[in-house]
Amino acid sequence: MKEKLYVAIDLGGTKIYTVLGNGEGSILAEEIFATKAHDGPQAVLEQLVLSVSALLAKTSYGLNDLQAAGICAAGFFDWQKRLLVHSPNLSGWNNVPLELELTARLGLPVLAENDANAAALGEARLGAGAGSGDLIFVTVSTGIGAGLILGGHIYRGTAGFAGEFGHMVVKSDGYLCGCGRRGCLETVASGTAIARAASTAMQMGRETLLTQLAEENEGKLGAPQVFAAAELGDVLAGEILADASYYLGLGLVNLVNLLNPEIIVVGGGVANAGDKFLQPLREAIADKAIPPAAASCTLRAAKLGMAAGVIGMLCRLAEQN
């Protein structure tokens, strides 16, 4: 029997990652475009089509050889109305019928998902949580997101907006969040929050290695510099990371108590800091979650990196077709 082939696209605010893959979730070819995020939906939809053509041109396959296409995107995807309601990193994307628009352009059935949901499925099927039916994927980078796999399937909630872990309120009088509310986890524990805390402390005149590390990085200060300074024993950087880790740990404890997951997979740029970042989170779960739920939960680093979303979409397509 002929192998079933799919294209899967991860549409992000900075890049469009497009792959050709099979029903086992193996990637056979890939293509990366820089997203024209400020040019509006029509320009980006054209880019998506071009990325598929450029990808197929690298192979001996054409659109006729494909069973279907899958796309995952950052943002709120309304699972009932099939609309990308809003995407914070893509200008002008409001209520875009992403599946319909792509089907019309590619002539293929198209399935869309929120990117964290797709990444969660990828990690649950073929990544750090392979074989688990009760897994939470948490991504910590400029923002904080999550995808829930419950009973073997993506849990979307009633309309598709479940898993917004970054907007769990942990400090009701805290900073204003990108979502318009105050005190979300994302405002205290994301890469952006870590960088802001460092800048604020430096402006207050705290003695720190961060001053030098920022100078070496063209004056820019981000989470990577804070991790580097903490590694060198910098007290301020250590305090900032401990604070972020405290709130992230609280959020995870609440998830463990609510959902009793078997595995929590932590990915995203900030999680690249490795075990130094993950171990305090494991300790928070062990100390603060209800003991039987804590004992049955393992926290691991993500395994699939930037391919998690597209691999999740390949699995999703294969399970549907």
Q: Is-contact 17 10, C-beta < 8 A?
A: yes
Q: Which is nearer to Zn ion, 176 or 290 (CB)?
A: 176
Does 50 bind Zn ion (CB under 5 A)? Our answer is no
Q: What distance, in Å, lies between the first and last C-alpha atoms of the chain?
A: 15
Does 189 bind Zn ion (CB under 5 A)? Our answer is no
Q: Taking contact as CB under 5 A, which single stretch among the options 60-68, 81-89, 151-159, 164-172 is the one that binds Zn ion?
A: 164-172
Measuring CA to CA, how many Å separate 153 from each of 28, 109, 304? 25, 21, 19
3-state secondary structure string, 56-82?
HHCCCCCHHHEEEEEEEECCEEECCCC
Out of 146, 184, 197, 285, the only residue in the binding site for Zn ion (CB under 5 A) is 184
Q: Which is nearer to Zn ion, 142 or 208 (CB)?
A: 142
Does 167 bind Zn ion (CB under 5 A)? Our answer is yes
Q: Which is nearer to Zn ion, 167 or 282 (CB)?
A: 167
Q: Taking contact as CB under 5 A, which single stretch among the options 150-158, 170-178, 215-223, 230-238 is the one that binds Zn ion?
A: 170-178
Least separation in angstroms between CB 195 and Zn ion? 17
**Side-chain half-sphere CA neighbours of 144 within 13 A:** 29
DSSP 8-class letter at 155:
-
Does 179 bind Zn ion (CB under 5 A)? Our answer is yes
Q: Is-contact 138 146, C-beta < 8 A?
A: yes
Q: Is-contact 281 245, C-beta < 8 A?
A: yes
Does 188 bind Zn ion (CB under 5 A)? Our answer is no
Does 278 bind Zn ion (CB under 5 A)? Our answer is no
Q: Name the nearest CA neighbour of 191 among 232, 251, 147, 248.
A: 248
Out of 16, 102, 149, 177, the only residue in the binding site for Zn ion (CB under 5 A) is 177
The neighbouring-strand residues paired with 219 are none
Q: Which is nearer to Zn ion, 90 or 177 (CB)?
A: 177
Q: Which is nearer to Zn ion, 125 or 167 (CB)?
A: 167
Does 146 bind Zn ion (CB under 5 A)? Our answer is no
The footprint of Zn ion (CB under 5 A) covers 167, 177, 179, 184
